[in-house]
Amino acid sequence: MKVLFISAVSGMSGAEIVLARFLRRNPDVDAVILLPRGPLLSLLEKEGHRVYRSWGLGQLHRAGNLFWPVVFALRWFVGCLEVIRVCWKEHPEIVQATHFAAASYALVPAKLLGIPVVWHIHDIMARRSLGAWTCRQLGKHVERVIVPSRAVRDSLVRSGISGNKVSVIYNGLDTAKEFNGLPVRRGPLRERLHLGPDALLVGFLGLLAPWKGAHVFLEAIERVQRSLRRPVRFLVIGDGWNARETCRPALEAQAKAAGLEGQVAFTGRLPHIPEVLAQLDIVVHASTAPDPLPNVVLEAMAAGKVVLASDCGGVPEMIEDGVTGFLYPPGDEQALANLLEHCINKFEEVAPMGRRARRRVEEAFSEGKHRQAFAQLYQEVAGPGETMTAAAPEREPVLRP
């Protein structure tokens, strides 16, 4: 089955990682992709996918831009023409819009051409917000809405989208190929930090945006540092969307003011996250706003790590508190500090929790279940006349519109 995937996001965050994984190992989908220039496009091109580069799609920066409505209107018009051109050339059976903005570009062209639209939403909408209103309007005209957690579904239903249109499909991981669940005591990251085999490594991984809560992590370290009874280092892994949208300088200043320079290292973005996770002992998730279904939590569980996570959004659907990880109230620095102290000082007691977390991912968040759920949904949307192919046709060279 041929599916045109449309994204208006050029960077790499949770939703884009999910899309890349889905396309990488899905022989039943003949994928065509339209998206703006950026890391995601470069990755998909490198992997040999049929990619069209868009000049109209992309994130719109409204701050300080008085003419943003005009800019958006022009880009929307160009983006719609691009969607039509790709559809005429490729004849997809389904158009799938990934993320919030993509649906606004995909809906009108697809409807004009009689192609059903599937909308994959990874955002939890605040009630009575502009985003919620927009979701309600767009949601009336798409065939199906896919969400990664019940928390996202509930937010959309509160926004006015019919629950009958919304399908929950959990993100999936290939634990056998990507995450073997075995700890690494002498990896390159640990050697770079000059850590002995007995030292613990505790990491925060994610986008360095205020709502992701790295500042909560640093505050918790400051509160707990004097009560730790074994060698430990803390890492902040990641960065902002770009140099303009990052809170890393503020976080580094916070760590310096708290006297944490010798205990906390900022690594920036690191490649090969499975290898990074294998060298960590404890992974901290600290979002202060509802997180749809954070990849970092799922990946850390698949890697067999002890996970301390903010009890918000889709996280409680992943972690059973005290069994497959620990939950704490969002933004509660003292609660996180207490968990850090307990898990570091009694690590051998809590370490088996990581094995239970990995089994949870294998049972409920497998890549196979993820692919199967999408195949069934595509079949329902395309109708009984369409069938899923056993394998996608041979990849063609990257196309330039």
Helix (H) or strand (E) run with residue 251 in it:
helix 248-257
Q: What is the pLDDT of residue 385?
A: 54
* Same domain for 208 and 96: no
Q: What is the pLDDT of residue 100?
A: 76
Among residues 73, 40, 75, the alpha carbon closest in space to that of 57 is found at 75
Question: Taken in order 171, 177, 181, 187, is the CA torsion positive or negative?
Answer: negative
Query: Model's pTM, two decimal places?
Result: 0.89
Residue 1 DSSP label: -
Q: Does 396 reside within a domain?
A: no
* Same domain for 142 and 77: yes
Q: Does 181 reside within a domain?
A: no
* Same domain for 330 and 199: yes
Chain centroid, CA 278 distance in Å: 19
Domain that holds residue 122: 2-172+366-382
* Same domain for 279 and 258: yes
**Cα–Cα distance measured from residue 262 to residue 362, given in angstroms and rounded to the nearest whole number:** 37
Helix (H) or strand (E) run with residue 376 in it:
helix 367-382
Among residues 17, 83, 34, the alpha carbon closest in space to that of 293 is found at 17
Q: Does 102 reside within a domain?
A: yes
Which two structure tokens, joined as six digits, stand for 121? 């939403």
* Same domain for 161 and 69: yes
Q: Does 289 reside within a domain?
A: yes
Chain centroid, CA 111 distance in Å: 28
* Same domain for 311 and 225: yes
* Same domain for 158 and 17: yes
3-state secondary structure of 175: coil
Q: Does 34 reside within a domain?
A: yes
**Cα–Cα distance measured from residue 218 to residue 284, given in angstroms and rounded to the nearest whole number:** 11
Which two structure tokens, joined as six digits, stand for 227? 């009560």
pLDDT-flagged residues of the chain (< 50): 387-401
CB 171 within 8 A of CB 165: no
* Same domain for 203 and 103: no
For residue 289, what are the contacts with CB-CB under 8 A and spacing of at least 6? 124, 211, 312, 313, 330
Q: Does 178 reside within a domain?
A: no
Which two structure tokens, joined as six digits, stand for 318? 């992943």
The domain that holds 119 is classified in CATH as: 3.40.50.2000
**Cα–Cα distance measured from residue 35 to residue 79, given in angstroms and rounded to the nearest whole number:** 10
Q: Quickly tell me which residue has 């994130």 as its tokens.
A: 59
CB 27 within 8 A of CB 392: yes
Q: How many helices (DSSP H) and strands (DSSP E) are in the chain?
A: 15, 13
**Cα–Cα distance measured from residue 371 to residue 368, given in angstroms and rounded to the nearest whole number:** 5
Number of domains in the chain: 2
Q: Does 400 reside within a domain?
A: no
* Same domain for 8 and 91: yes
* Same domain for 210 and 319: yes
* Same domain for 349 and 306: yes
* Same domain for 205 and 166: no
**Cα–Cα distance measured from residue 216 to residue 334, given in angstroms and rounded to the nearest whole number:** 9
Q: Does 390 reside within a domain?
A: no
Phi, psi of 137 (to 5 degrees): -70, -45
Q: What is the pLDDT of residue 63?
A: 58
